[in-house]
Structure 1
Amino acid sequence: MKDRYLHKAKRADNGEWVHGYYAVIGGREVIIKNQEEKYYAVDEGKNSRGNEIVLIRPATLCQCTGLKSENGNLIWENDIVTLPTEEDFFIICWDKDDAKFCIENNSITADFDNYWGWQTEVIGNKFDNPELLEEA
């Protein structure tokens, strides 16, 4: 799997994170685990390759930046991060006007391209750790 094409979201049934490919099937937003979809049987919830199709909470959908943090973990949209040259926390966001990832907090927005992923430490995300954003 190419990391930059991955998405994650919380499962609709139990709220746990699921990673894979994002799709809209039959009007429902899902994550397809394992590999790209070729065929899907809506009534059975299965496809020709045996991938797991998971209904998600669309408000929690996050795209992968394709970069890894200093700990070797993937960095996702909506992650809360620290940077070596800054004291504040930042959130990874997608700038749809310029089609690129950026970082922002209450006082600044900057291109994520200005930082190397390995310089970034992920300390949480806005869904599981909203209290971190209150401190920023």
Structure 2
Amino acid sequence: MREILFKARRLDNREWVEGSLISFADGGRAILPSKSAALYKKGASLFSTVNCLEVAPSTVCQYTGLTDRNGVKIFEGDKLYDPHENMIYTVGWSEEQAVFQMKYSWHRKSVESAHYCEIIGFIHDGEGGQHE
């Protein structure tokens, strides 16, 4: 079983946060940081009872369950350098095959081979910095 983990950019300070994803009926999204404890009090709002952080929905990325050659967690949107093929791939989800894949133009390959690759960037790098 792989760890179910998401990351996204916070709306308040644009920093990246990792944790559990919470989606709301109005389209809003939030992350419950991994180290937070969820509490429920009848009649209270979710944001006041759970230490969750509102995030930009367009930046939500899921953890693949794998790490690169340096032990860094690989998320959707990561750019991976493949030294065997001297190519840069972007990690993405394939709806057709229901798997994470490494993509470059028309070329696709399993993200399972990412263990010898290195994360060199992220698709949201131009939006305020690389993820951690």
- Which amino acid in 2 is paired with 1:77? E
TM-score (norm 1): 0.78
2:53 is the alignment partner of 1:93: no
Q: Percent identity?
A: 28
2:43 is the alignment partner of 1:46: no
Q: How far 1:104 sits from its partner (Å)?
A: 0.6
Segments ≥4 residues shifted beyond 6 Å:
none
1: CA distance, partners of 2:121 / 2:17: 16
CA contact (8 A) 2:38 2:51 kept: no
- What do residues 6-58 of structure 1 show as CA deviations (whole Å, max 9, x unaligned)? 00000011211010000114632100112574637426x233xxx52010101
2:14 is the alignment partner of 1:15: yes
Alignment of 1:47-86 (within 5 A): 47=49, 52-86=51-85
Number of residue pairs aligned between Structure 1 and Structure 2? 123
Distance change (3 Å), C-alpha of 1:46 and 1:36:
same
Unaligned runs of 5+ in 2: 128-132
- What do residues 66-105 of structure 1 show as CA deviations (whole Å, max 9, x unaligned)? 1111111101010000113111210000112221100111
- Which amino acid in 1 is paired with 2:118? E
Q: What corresponds to 1:119 in structure 2? A: 116
Q: What corresponds to 2:33 in structure 1? A: 33
Distance change (3 Å), C-alpha of 1:36 and 1:102:
farther
Q: How far 1:4 sits from its partner (Å)?
A: 2.8
CA contact (8 A) 1:21 1:36 kept: no
TM-score (norm 2): 0.80
Across the aligned residues of Structure 1 and Structure 2, the Cα RMSD in angstroms comes to: 2.4
Q: What corresponds to 1:134 in structure 2? A: none
- Which amino acid in 2 is paired with 1:46? S
Q: Which moved more, 1:34-43 or 1:58-67?
A: 34-43
Q: What corresponds to 2:130 in structure 1? A: none
SS in 2 for 1:4: coil
